[in-house]
Structures are given as structure tokens and as C-alpha cells.
Structure 1
Amino acid sequence: HCPEPRPINVPQQFRTTSNSNVWEWQEQEQMFRGMTAEAMVTGQEKPFTVILIFDVTQHMSFFATLQRWFWIGLVISALVSAGLGWMVASSGMRPIRQVTRVAASMSAKSLKERIPLAPVPKELQQLVSSFNAMLSRLDDAFVRLSNFSADIAHELRTPVSNLMTHTEVVLSRKRDIEDYEDNLYSNLDDLKRMARMIDDMLFLAKSDNGLMTHEDKPIDLLEVVEKLLEYYRLLADERGISLTVSGRGRVRGDVLMLHRAISNLLSNALRYTPEGQTISMDIRQDLKKAIVTVENPGETIAPEHLEKLFDRFYRADPARREGSPSNAGLGLAITRSIIEAHEGRIWCTSSNGKTAFHMELPSSGLVRA
């Protein structure tokens, strides 16, 4: 049932056809919408002005209510979305929080702890794997540092103990001047060993911290090797050991440092070569690299020891001590540092009663024989 239309007072500005577009106005609490147009009637010279008016109060009220509920729904949806987002983010960040807890609890005694990969999403497994790998490297570095400290203490304890013992014996009673001189010479040997060890450790410390600098000059490897062989042949002849060299090569670097590196390899080979055998040195070169190989016969080194030979104070047989008092187990570690400082690499092979150390260095051009 529609209510009877009542008279409506149309504003004057809407009664002309100049306002032919849809217009609207409000009267008290009612909203009206209308349109003014002209219409021709048969038999009439002038057109009639037709005004069409609609009461849109209910429609406007409906749209206002709809808009209000729309904003309420939008606010509720935003709150629900924020809550769901927080739950999803909280669940996704759980592995990150676990990594944070593990990192915050890290100490020298807990480096072996690892984060399990099973509950971690695929997107974060790479991160957790990298974190576990970092912990493994830190654990390995800490163990090596601890062993290094223990080895230093062990190596320094022997000469210090000798110094104290010799001095206490000499001071136990009055002695001749010759006895004091003998004691001083004995102490001097131990002091030289300690000084050599300290120099070697300082050299390695500089290398580890990137403080080691070297010259960049052309070096003929054969000339360096031949100079070293002049000295080592005197030591080798005492045990009937032969030294041979073949090939040539040229590199760029510091001649004194490479002299020390090759000397360490020759000294190491001479120490473990049986009497009457031959130590051979071979120099090979191409356009990119030069390789110096020092090979000696002797006891085969097990494969698990080959990579560790270049660690400080490492010995393949812990029960075996070096024959030379001046040797502290740092020679191969120093050699590796020198080669790496020259952007090269060094490795060891051992099989069938022969052990060989290979030094690879960047080439600086072929050398004619």
C-alpha cells in the first residue's frame, strides 16, 4: 500500500528546463530527486514543462545504513586479518626465534649445539643450514685454537724446564768458569729454539690477520732451488742421501719467502728420508702456473693425515718427536702461509712408500732452457 502523494513545493530554480539534468533537494527529513523537461502536445503551440519528482528518502536511508555496515565490516575484516597475519607470522618466525635463542646462548662450551632442520620450513632451511655450518666452523676453529695454545705451552715448557734445571744445577755450588760457560752455551741453544718458535708464531699470526706483505719480483725457481741444494747437499752427504732437480719455472713474488718455503720442504724431506735414498725435485710450468714438487722415499702417510700436515704442531704420529731441537712443528704451516700469500696452493700426496709435496704458484711467463 503506497501512501497518497501530497503537494510538494518544488524550488523555483528547478521549474525551468534549463535544469534538465537530474536534481535533488531535501525538505525537512525527506529527500527528493527529480528532473525537468519540455513536452510537445498536439494542438498546442507551446510545449509543456513536465517535472518528474521521486521521494528517495527510503533509498538514501538504505544506502546510509549500507555504508555504515560496510565500514563496520571493513574494520572487523582488518582486525581479523591483522590477527591472522600475526598468527601466521608468529608461526613462521618460530624458527628465527629458535636461531636467536641458540645464538644468544652460544659460548665456548656450547658450540656443538645445532638447530634441527625437521620443523623448519623449506624457505628457512638454507638459513638454518648456513647457521649450523657456521657453528661447525667456529667449533673447529675453537678446538684448533685450544690445541694450538696447549701445543705452544707444551713446546715452550721443555726449553724453559731445561733452562731452569741447568741453572739450578750450576748454582747449587761454586764451580769453575768453564762450567759456567758450558751452562751458558747449553742455555743459548734452548733460547735460540724459543726465539725461533716465537718468530714462527708471529709470522703465522701476521699471515692469519692479512698483515704479511711481500715483494713482487720475477723469480727463477731453478736458481732458488740450486742455491738451497748447495747447503742441503752437505747435510745429505753425511747420510748418503742424493738430491736431484729437474725442470725450470718462473714466478713473481718474494724470493726470501719462497726460499724459506722450499727450504722447509727440503728440510722436512731430509728428516724422513732413509739413508742412501734419493730426494727428487721437479719444476714444471705452463702459461698459467708453475708447480714445484719435492718427493722423498719413506713411510707412507695415511690419507686422513694428509690435509692436517699443514696444521700447526701437527704430527701424523703423536708419539714421535722431531729429531732436531730447532724444529717445533711449524715449518709446513709457515710454508702454506707463504704459498697462500702468493695466491698459490700446496698439497701432499703419499703412496707406495713415497711422499711428495706440491707447490702451485701463478706463472709469470715461460723460461727457455
Structure 2
Amino acid sequence: MLGLGLVCAAVYVVIALTLSQRQDDTLTQKQAAVEHLLTEGRGAHDLAGVRHLLKDFLAGHDELSLRLVNGEGQSIFETAARQPPLADSKRRVFDIRLPPDAGGSAHAVLVLDRRTDEALLARLAWTLTLAALAGALAVSVGGFMLVRLGLAPLHKLVAQTRQVTATDLERRLDGAGQADELQPLIRQFNELLDRLSVAYKQMEAFNADVAHELNTPLATLISSCELALRKPRNPEELREALGSNLEDLHRLASIVGDMLFLSSADRGVPARRAWTLSLGMLAVEVLEFHEAALLDTGLRAEVLGDAAAAVDVRLLRRALSNLLGNATRYASAGSAVLIHIERQQAGGVRITVQNEGPTIEAEHLPRLFDRFYRADPSRSHADRNHGLGLSIVAAIARMHGGHAFAESADGVTRIGLVLLDNEDTSRPG
């Protein structure tokens, strides 16, 4: 409406200016014609001749009127037509020479009636106004229909998204018939659904694993308590039952504690870094803690390499302990467990725990860091290992801006983590 109104207003103004200019030109031409007629006209030697010439000149020009006034203020010629109001006319006042017998000179008033042009402009204004209204209505209706037609595929897309539910995450959006501009959005949405589907399946598996891990010690605790309460027991038997229950309670507390830690890591809690001059010394301390377990399995351990870095010592100690515990469980008897520490050229520190033992199949490697996941389907060492150790390693790596990795080939398994340098922690001078 605004656009068409502006166009129509511009048309009206241009035509009005054109008509006004034409009126001015007409007055100028008629003034020159009257002056020429009275100056050069033949047979106009007296006042009667002048009047006759002027009547002949003005015949057929109903929009023009002329009045001559002599020097004494008397009207010597005036057209019989009634002059229009000042608001509806244009006037040109000038002096004109007359024949000596007609008085010699006179004061002339030439009037142009503009009412015909004003009526034309009024009709034009109404026409343009109605055209603007009709055009705006037509454009609005047409635009509405075109937008409705153009959005029809999008409405179909919305209908498809309504069909995606938590119980039907395998459904994907169909991009056939959609505009090219929407294809990237459809691809990204389908990729999002893929990630959500994987996350939902992992959540379901996680819930099942949590229930399984908690069910076993709870069932043991319940049965132990029931047996202890069936008949009177002496203090020694009760002490033995309570000791067994305490072990299961510690295991439950360990599972809950690890789950709370992973939840905190998932929320983006950063590591509390401090500059550590020797990661090798830190690894040696962890080895000393695992010395008894290594001796029991006939393993030897060694730390190779060293580096200084800004790390959270408490978290890194826990990650190394989990990696060593995992390597100890699956290493071949009499073999060596090696801890490699090296600084990478691209920045950061790479820590690898290597052991010799059964090769882990390639399809298991990407999932080793999933919660409660075990590559061993027999769930070996389930009484001591609840499947969160490597998940915690991966979480600690992420808290240091890095990542965890796993490699296994030819009877050698390497599992570790990469810790990236923190720009906010400056190297001490």
C-alpha cells in the first residue's frame, strides 16, 4: 500500500506540474498573440475595430477571458463570459498599445479558467487512489497465496518433525521436494537425530548397566543379612557377615562416587591445574602404589620419558592409577607394563600405558571409554572392576582439554590420554 501510494502520488504531482506549466505557457502565448493582434491588426483604427478583433480572437476559447481598462479606469472591453473565482483561475496583467483613436494604451487582464484541469486532476486523484487500493489488495492476496504455496513444503517438514518421538528416533526427515535452501538444515537435523539416537541408546544401556552393577552387591547384602538374621549367631559369625557386607557397601560407594565424578566432568568442570616439573616422578609414585598388584601377577613396570606440564595432579594420579589397573588385569604374566611420557610437537603431553596381552578387536576400541563397557563378554574381574575406570580416564583428559585413545595390535595394547597445555597457566620462571 505504501509503495503503490508513493508511486501514485508521484504520478499525480508530475501531471499537476505539467498542467500548471501548460497553463503558464498558454497565458504567455495568448498574451503575445493579443499584443501582436492589436499592434499589427488591420482595420482596428478605433475602439469598435479593437473590440471586433478581440471577439474574433477569443471565439472558441471558452477557458480564456480578457478585460481592457483605459487610463481613466473605465472598462473598454470585457468578454461576456463570467470570470471564474481567483482560486480557480490564473491571471496575467500587462499593458497593451491601442490605436490612437481607441485611446492609445490600455491595461489588460488575461484570465485562464483552470476548472477543467482541476476536474481532470480530481478524477486522476480518485483513479490513482482506487488503483493503489486495488493494487495493494491484489498484491496482498497474491503474496498470501504465493507464500502459502511456497511454505507448503515447510509445513510438510514440520509435520514430519512432529512424528519424531523418543520412542521412534529412527525416523528421519525426507528432503525430497524441499527447496535447496532447506537441504543443509534437513541434513543437519537428521545428523542431530542420529546423535540423539546414539545418545538415547547409550543412556538406555547405561541405565541397564547401572541397574546390573548395583543389583549384584545389593542382592548379596540382602541375602547376607537374611542369613544372618535367620538364627542366632555368635559375635565372630556376625563380625564376618558385617565385614563381607562392608566390602559390598564400599563397592557401591565406589560406583556412586565414580558416577558423581563423571556427572561433574560432563557438566564442564575444569581441572585445577598447577605446574608440575616432572610427570615421570608422578608416574613412579602411582607405580609404587600398584607395586603389590604387579608382584602378585608377576609383572614388572617401567616409566619411560618425562615432561613438565600444568596438570591437576590429583586427577592425573587417578587416571594413571586406572590405566595401570586396567593394564595389570589384562597383561600376560611375566611381561612388562610400560608408561611412556612424551611432549608432542603440536603442544601438549601424551601419556601411554602399554601392556602385552590379548589383542582387543578393532570394533571394541572406540567403545572402551563408554561407561560400563567391557570388551570381555564374560565380564571378567567384575567383582573388582565395575567398568567406569576408562570412562574416568577419558573424562580427565577432556577436563585438561585433551582426549583419550586406545590402540591394540599384535598382542600389544596401548591406552592413554593426551593433555593439552593451558594458555592461562604460565610456565614459572
Instruction: Give your verdict on TM over 0.5.
Output: yes
| 1:85-96 equivalence runs, <5 A | 85-96=143-154
| 1:1-369 equivalence runs, <5 A | 5=62, 8=65, 27=84, 32-39=89-96, 49-98=107-156, 100-101=158-159, 107-211=165-269, 214-218=272-276, 220-286=278-344, 288-317=347-376, 319-323=377-381, 325-363=383-421
- The verdict on how the C-alpha distance between 1:324 and 1:234 changes in structure 2, with shifts beyond 3 A counting, is farther
The residue type paired with residue 185 of structure 1 is G
1:298 Cα offset (Å): 2.2
Query: Take 1:68 and 1:26, find their aligned partners in 2: how far apart are those partners?
Result: 28
Query: Take 1:46 and 1:220, find their aligned partners in 2: how far apart are those partners?
Result: 126
Check the 8 A contact 2:63/2:113 in 1, yes or no.
no
Check the 8 A contact 1:269/1:294 in 2, yes or no.
yes
Check the 8 A contact 2:340/2:352 in 1, yes or no.
yes
Check the 8 A contact 1:310/1:336 in 2, yes or no.
yes
Query: Take 2:153 and 2:67, find their aligned partners in 1: how far apart are those partners?
Result: 71
Secondary structure at the aligned position of 1:303 is classed as coil
Check the 8 A contact 1:261/1:338 in 2, yes or no.
yes
TM-score relative to the length of structure 2: 0.72
| CA offsets 1:241-285 (integer angstroms, 9 cap, x no match) | 221221111111221110000111111111111112222221111
Higher CA-based Rg? 2
> Aligned pairs, how many?
353
- The verdict on how the C-alpha distance between 1:137 and 1:6 changes in structure 2, with shifts beyond 3 A counting, is closer
Query: Take 1:60 and 1:11, find their aligned partners in 2: how far apart are those partners?
Result: 27
Query: Take 2:286 and 2:408, find their aligned partners in 1: how far apart are those partners?
Result: 24
- The verdict on how the C-alpha distance between 1:45 and 1:360 changes in structure 2, with shifts beyond 3 A counting, is farther
TM-score relative to the length of structure 1: 0.83
| CA offsets 1:35-79 (integer angstroms, 9 cap, x no match) | 334456798997655544444444333332222111111111111
Query: Take 1:136 and 1:275, find their aligned partners in 2: how far apart are those partners?
Result: 43
The residue type paired with residue 36 of structure 1 is V
1:216 Cα offset (Å): 2.9
Task: Point out where structure 1 has 5 or more consecutive residues left out of the alignment.
Answer: 17-24
Name the Cα RMSD after superposition. 3.4
1:338 Cα offset (Å): 1.1
- The verdict on how the C-alpha distance between 1:4 and 1:158 changes in structure 2, with shifts beyond 3 A counting, is closer
Secondary structure at the aligned position of 1:328 is classed as coil
1:238 Cα offset (Å): 2.4
Match of 1:19 in 2: none
| CA offsets 1:107-156 (integer angstroms, 9 cap, x no match) | 42233332222222122223333333333333322222222111100111
- The verdict on how the C-alpha distance between 1:203 and 1:47 changes in structure 2, with shifts beyond 3 A counting, is farther
The residue type paired with residue 301 of structure 1 is I
Secondary structure at the aligned position of 1:35 is classed as strand
Query: Take 1:154 and 1:323, find their aligned partners in 2: how far apart are those partners?
Result: 15
More off after superposition, 162-171 vs 43-52: 43-52
Check the 8 A contact 1:284/1:291 in 2, yes or no.
yes
Looking at secondary structure, tell me which structure has more helix per residue: 2
Task: Point out where structure 2 has 5 or more consecutive residues left out of the alignment.
Answer: 1-58, 74-81
- The verdict on how the C-alpha distance between 1:38 and 1:262 changes in structure 2, with shifts beyond 3 A counting, is farther
- The verdict on how the C-alpha distance between 1:308 and 1:95 changes in structure 2, with shifts beyond 3 A counting, is farther
Check the 8 A contact 1:117/1:128 in 2, yes or no.
yes
- The verdict on how the C-alpha distance between 1:72 and 1:240 changes in structure 2, with shifts beyond 3 A counting, is same
- The verdict on how the C-alpha distance between 1:240 and 1:53 changes in structure 2, with shifts beyond 3 A counting, is same
Check the 8 A contact 1:251/1:365 in 2, yes or no.
no
Identity, % of aligned pairs? Answer: 30
